[in-house]
Amino acid sequence: MMTAPNLKRAFVSLLPALLLPALLLGFPAAGNAAKKKAPEPTNEEIIWNYLAERIGNPYGVAGLMGNLYAESVFRSDNLQDSYEKKLKMTDAEYTEAVDSGTYDNFVRDAAGYGLAQWTFWSRKEALLNFAREKGASIGDLTMQLDYLWYELSVKYPPLAKGLQNAASVREASDLILLNYERPANQSEEAQIRRAGFGERIYQKFMN
């Protein structure tokens, strides 16, 4: 009969054999959970942080973002849906073709593109030149945020100031809708809808 000390020694000697199947099956070792990477930030989080740093007013940030959501769902490679059919290209194919130069009508094709769905030729030309100067893809999120802020702060400084001083999400949202995005539909219904997107964003990041 094995004594207690002998039993303990026998068990210890068997430990490697007992643990080997678990290791072969890929069971995580203790402490691995703590080493897991934090999830990558979403476009929404990146945009909020970028704009919050520059605008400094959550009402202004949310009002602007509600409009960006309405335009592109925060996708910087978003090609206007009707032009996907017209040009027979997906968002990714269009972006790659513009980047590579195989599609050379980006400036004049009148297709809305990117976070703000830039459409008018002079603004698309400036966006394209801005991307090339930075050596970035036309669909790069950070590049487009830089261009967006360049437009607001340099080309439309009253809008940047208005966002910084807005007293409500609705005020900021209407400012962008009516003076920056200027879509075909600027009705009261459209204003309420976009401000609603902004309110949800405000609640998400401020609560």
How do residues 78-106 score in pLDDT, each as one tens digit?
Answer: 999 999 999 999 999 999 999 999 999 99
Q: Quote the CA–CA distance of 206 and 57 in Å, as a whole number.
A: 11
Q: Which residues pair with 79 in a beta bridge?
A: 113
- CATH number given to 43-206: 1.10.530.10
Distance CA 144, CA 80 (A): 16
* Angstrom distance (rounded) from CA 72 to CA 81: 10
Nearest-CA neighbor of 190 among 89, 71, 99? 71
Q: Which residue has the higher pLDDT, 72 or 38?
A: 72
What pLDDT, on a 0 to 100 scale, did the predictor assign at position 122? Answer: 98
User: Where do the domains of the chain lie?
Assistant: 4-35, 43-206
